Amino acid sequence: MKKILSTLSLAAAIVFSASAQSDMLLYNFNAISQSLHTNPAMPQQTKVWVGLPAISGLSTHYHNSGFSAVDIFEANTDINANLRNVTAGLDASSQLAVNQTVDLLGIGFSLKKGFVSLGATQHINLTMDIPYQLFQVMFSENNNSITQLDLSTFDLEISNRTAFYLGYQHRFLNEKLTLGVRANYLIGQQHAYIERSNISLTNDSTYTINGRSDILVRSAGASAFEADAIEPMNIAFADNTGFSFNFGAHYQLSDKWSFSASVLDIGSITYNDYTRSYVSDSEFEFRGIEADLAANDFGDAVDRAVDSLEAGFNFQEVDGDSYSRSLMPRIFAAANYHINEKHTFGALYHSRIWNGEAFHDFGVNYQGRLSRTFQFTAGYSMINGTAHNIGAGFDLKLGAFQLYLMSDNIFGMVDYGGLQTTNFRFGINLTFYGKKEKKKKQEEAKTNTPSQTNNESNNFINYF
Q: Are strands 421-432 and 156-172 parallel, antiparallel or unpaired?
A: unpaired
Task: Give the C-alpha distances (Å, rounded to integers) separating 59 from 166, 355, 447.
Answer: 20, 24, 46
Tell me if 309 contacts another protein by CB under 8 A: no
185, 286, 432, 433: which one binds another protein (CB under 8 A): 286
In total, the chain counts a number of residues equal to: 464
- State the nearest-atom distance from the C-beta of 376 to another protein, in Å: 9
CA pair distance 250, 368, nearest whole angstrom: 19
Tell me if 150 contacts another protein by CB under 8 A: no
Taking Cα atoms as reference points, which of 166, 51, 41, 176 lies closest to residue 114?
Answer: 41
Cα Rg, the chain, nearest whole Å: 27
Tell me if 293 contacts another protein by CB under 8 A: yes
CA pair distance 268, 244, nearest whole angstrom: 6
Burial 46-73 (b: 16+ CB within 10 A, else e): bebbbbbeeebbbbbbbbbbbbbebbbe
Q: Which is nearer to another protein, 79 or 227 (CB)?
A: 79
CA pair distance 448, 441, nearest whole angstrom: 9
105, 107, 137, 333: which one binds another protein (CB under 8 A): 137
Tell me if 417 contacts another protein by CB under 8 A: yes
Tell me if 208 contacts another protein by CB under 8 A: yes
Tell me if 83 contacts another protein by CB under 8 A: yes
Stretch 218-277 residues interacting with another protein (CB under 8 A): none
Q: Which is nearer to another protein, 114 or 418 (CB)?
A: 418
Tell me if 366 contacts another protein by CB under 8 A: no
Tell me if 331 contacts another protein by CB under 8 A: no
| 387 within 8 A of 418, measured Cβ to Cβ | no
Is 248 strand, coil or helix?
strand
Tell me if 18 contacts another protein by CB under 8 A: no
Tell me if 138 contacts another protein by CB under 8 A: yes
Q: Which residues contact 364 (CB under 8 A, 6 or more apart)?
A: 345, 346, 347, 348, 379, 380
- State the nearest-atom distance from the C-beta of 38 to another protein, in Å: 25
89, 114, 385, 418: which one binds another protein (CB under 8 A): 418
Phi, psi (degrees; rounded to nearest 5) at 146: -70, -20
7, 8, 141, 339: which one binds another protein (CB under 8 A): 141
Tell me if 70 contacts another protein by CB under 8 A: yes
Q: Which is nearer to another protein, 290 or 307 (CB)?
A: 290
| 252 within 8 A of 260, measured Cβ to Cβ | no
Residue 254 burial class via C-beta count within 10 angstroms: exposed 0-12, middle 13-18, buried 19 and up: exposed
Tell me if 300 contacts another protein by CB under 8 A: no
Is 340 strand, coil or helix?
coil
Task: Give the C-alpha distances (Å, rounded to integers) separating 1 from 4, 6, 192, 220, 311.
Answer: 5, 9, 20, 18, 26
| 179 within 8 A of 246, measured Cβ to Cβ | no
Q: Which is nearer to another protein, 279 or 406 (CB)?
A: 406
Residues that bind another protein (rule: CB under 8 A) add up to a total of 41
Stretch that binds another protein, among 93-101, 218-226, 265-273, 410-418 (CB under 8 A): 410-418
Q: Which is nearer to another protein, 275 or 409 (CB)?
A: 409
Stretch 32-51 residues interacting with another protein (CB under 8 A): none
415, 437, 444, 456: which one binds another protein (CB under 8 A): 415
CA pair distance 282, 322, nearest whole angstrom: 23
Stretch that binds another protein, among 64-72, 157-165, 346-354, 432-440 (CB under 8 A): 64-72
Helices 132-139 & 79-89 angle (0-180, nearest 10): 140
111, 289, 306, 400: which one binds another protein (CB under 8 A): 289
- State the nearest-atom distance from the C-beta of 203 to another protein, in Å: 5
CA pair distance 256, 461, nearest whole angstrom: 11
Q: Which is nearer to another protein, 1 or 75 (CB)?
A: 75
Tell me if 105 contacts another protein by CB under 8 A: no
Query: Given the rule CB under 8 A, which residues bind another protein?
Result: 69-70, 72-77, 79-80, 83, 137-139, 141, 144-147, 203, 206-209, 286-295, 301, 392, 411, 414-415, 417-418
